[in-house]
Amino acid sequence: MIYFDSAATTLQKPESVRRAVLRALTVMSSPGRGNHAASREAAETAFSCRSLAAEMFGAEGPENVVFTMNATHALNLAIKSLVREGSRVVISGYEHNAVTRPLYSMRGVETIVAESPLFDADAAVRAFETVLAQGVDVAVCTHVSNVFGYVLPVERIAARCRAYGVPLIVDASQSAGVEAVDMAAWGAAFAAMPGHKGLYGPQGTGLLLCAHETVPLIEGGTGSDSLLQQMPDYLPDRLEAGTHNMPGIAGLLAGLRFVESRTQEHILAYERALTEKVIEGLMQLHGVSAFAARERALQAGVVSFTVQGFDAEELAELLGARGISVRGGLHCAPTAHRTAGTVDSGTVRVSMSVFNKASEVERFLCELRRIIYRKSVF
C-alpha cells in the first residue's frame, strides 16, 4: 500500500515507537500513583516526554506540557479556558472543525473569520489586523492548513495579537514535527498538537502547551492533593484527571526523539521535495487543478487537487482500490474549503511523511493518469 494520508495520521511509525509502546505495556503503570518501580518508570517516561516537548516547542518547562488524547482535546481545553459567553473570537479562514465546533457549541460567542486568499501571507496578516483592531477577546490560528498545506504566517499574526493584547491559540496539528513551533517566540497562550501525525507517536496522544490560566474539561484523580475536592490549581495535574495513556506517551517520546534526531528541517525539506514532485506531475495531467503555492516556504508536505468530471470522494476511492491511500472530501475543514472556493466539490488530498518515497509518487501519478484516461475513453 502507498500511504499518502499522513495529514490524518502517520501510518508508518519508527521501529523505536513500536518498541516503546510494547515496553510500556509491559513495565509501566501510571505516573504519580505510587513509588513502586512500575509507577516510577511511568513517571520517568512522562517527565522525559514533557521535558523534550517543552524544549522542542518553546514551552516554559515540563509543567507547561499537558498530555491530551489528541489535538482536538487539546484545542477544546485551550478554547474553553479562554473563551466565555459574550467573547468575540477571530479565527483564520483555514481552521479545522476541531476549532470551529467548540466555538459554535458555546453560547453567545461571536466567531469572526479573518478571510484571506490561499497562499497569501500578507493578506492573512492584514485580515487578522483588521479584526483585531475592531476588538476581540481571543484569536485562533492554524499553523498549517490540513487541506492545502498552506503555512500561515503565525509568527507575524502572533506579533499583531501581542500588540493588541489578545491571547492566541495556535493549532499546530500539521506543523509539529515539520515547521518550527515556538511558544516562547510567539508569546502564544496555547499551542495544541497531536502526537500521531508529524511526531510519529501512537493514536490517542496529543499535547497542549500552556502559557495561560486553564479550566479543566474533566475532574478526577490526579495523584496529588487528594484531600481536596477541587482540581489542583497547577499544571499539568489540573488538566490531567485519570490514568495516563502510558503506552501512548512512551510511543510519543520515541516519536519526538525520532523527529529530533532527523531534525524538523530535514523532514520538511524531504516532504516538500516529494510534494513538489506530486504538484509537477499533477500539473501535466489534463483536467487536473492542483492548489500549489508559488512561494516554496508557503506550502508544507500537503497538496489538494481536483479533477474535472470526478467527485473527490469517488476519485479517492478509485485510487484506494489501486492501493493508494489519499483523502477525498472536506477533510473536517469546511471553513478552509469555503475560503478556497472548494466547499461544493471538496478536494483530493495527498499528504506526506518522512517514510514516503519518490517511487511512490511516480506510481500514484501513473495510476491517476490511468483513472482519468479510462473515464475519458469509456
Partner 1 sequence: MAYYHIVARSITQAQQMTKLLEKKGIGVKLARAKASLTGKGCGYTLRVPERRFVTAMQTLSQKGLRPQRVFFEDETGLREVIV
| Residues in 124-183 at the binding interface with partner 1, rule: CB under 8 A | none
Minimum distance, C-beta of residue 39 to partner 1, in the bound complex (Å): 9
Grid coordinates standing for 14?
A: 519508527
Mark residues 210-229: x for contact with partner 1 by CB under 8 A, - for none: ------------xxxxxxx-
Report how many residues bind partner 1 under the rule CB under 8 A: 24
Provide, rounded to whole angstroms, the least separation between the CB of residue 233 and partner 1. Answer: 9
- State in angstroms the smallest separation of the CB of 313 from partner 1: 45
If one asks whether residue 265 binds partner 1 (CB under 8 A), the answer comes out as no
Query: Please, which residue, 29 or 100, has the CB nearer to partner 1?
Result: 29
Work out which of 22, 26, 61, 130 binds partner 1, going by CB under 8 A.
Answer: 61
Interface region with partner 1, contact rule CB under 8 A, candidates 31-39, 204-212, 282-290, 361-369: 31-39
Angle between helices 15-27 and 37-57 (to 10 degrees): 150
**Closest-CA residue to 195 (of 10, 5, 57):** 10
- E strands in the chain: 2-3, 65-68, 88-92, 110-114, 138-142, 168-171, 190-194, 206-210, 288-290, 302-307, 324-325, 327-329, 347-351
Annotate each residue in 224-253 with x if it binds partner 1 (CB under 8 A) or - if it does not, as one string: xxxxx---x-x-xx----------------
AA identity, residue 164? Y
For residues 277 and 287, give the distance between their C-alpha atoms in angstroms, rounded to a whole number.
Answer: 18
Of 63 and 137, CB closest to partner 1 = 63
Q: Is 44 in the site for partner 1 (CB under 8 A)?
A: yes
Query: Least distance from C-beta 122 to partner 1, angstroms?
Result: 39
Taking CB under 8 A as the criterion, the residue among 31, 58, 194, 281 binding partner 1 is 31
Which range binds partner 1 by CB under 8 A, 39-47, 90-98, 202-210, 295-303?
39-47
Q: How many degrees, rounded to 5, is the angle at CA 148 between CA 78 and CA 164? A: 40
Nearest CB to partner 1, comparing residues 52 and 118: 52
CB of 222 to partner 1, least distance (A): 8
- Quick one: which segment of 26-34, 132-140, 146-154, 252-260 binds partner 1 (CB under 8 A)? 26-34
Minimum CB distance to partner 1, residue 235 (Å): 8
Q: In 10 A of CB 124, how many CB atoms?
A: 25
Residue 78's alpha-carbon distances to 155, 208, 213, 245, in angstroms, are 19, 8, 9, 20
- Taking the complex as a whole, the smallest distance from the CB of residue 169 to partner 1 amounts, in Å, to 23
Rounded Cα distance, 20 and 242, in Å: 22
Residues 6 or more apart whose Cβ sits within 8 Å of residue 192: 68, 71, 74, 75, 77, 78, 169, 170, 171, 172, 173, 206, 207, 208, 209
Question: 82-121: which residues touch partner 1 (CB under 8 A)?
Answer: none
Distance of alpha carbon 180 from alpha carbon 199, whole angstroms: 13
**Buried b / exposed e across 191-226, counting CB within 10 Å, b at 16+?**
bbbbbbbbbbbbbbbbbbbbbeebebeeeeebbeee
Residue in the structure block whose three cell numbers are 499533477: 282
C-beta pairs of 107-110 under 8 Å, 24+ apart in sequence: 109/83, 109/85
Choose between 213 and 265: whose C-beta lies nearer to partner 1: 213
Q: From the list 50, 73, 96, 331, which residue makes contact with partner 1 (rule: CB under 8 A)? A: 50
Question: Considering beta carbons, is residue 235 or 368 the nearer one to partner 1?
Answer: 235
**Could you say whether residue 62 binds partner 1 (CB under 8 A)?**
yes
Closest to partner 1 by CB, 213 or 280: 213
Say how far apart CA 149 and CA 287 lie, in whole Å.
22
Binding site for partner 1 (CB under 8 A): 31-32, 34-35, 43-44, 46-47, 50-51, 61-63, 222-228, 232, 234, 236-237
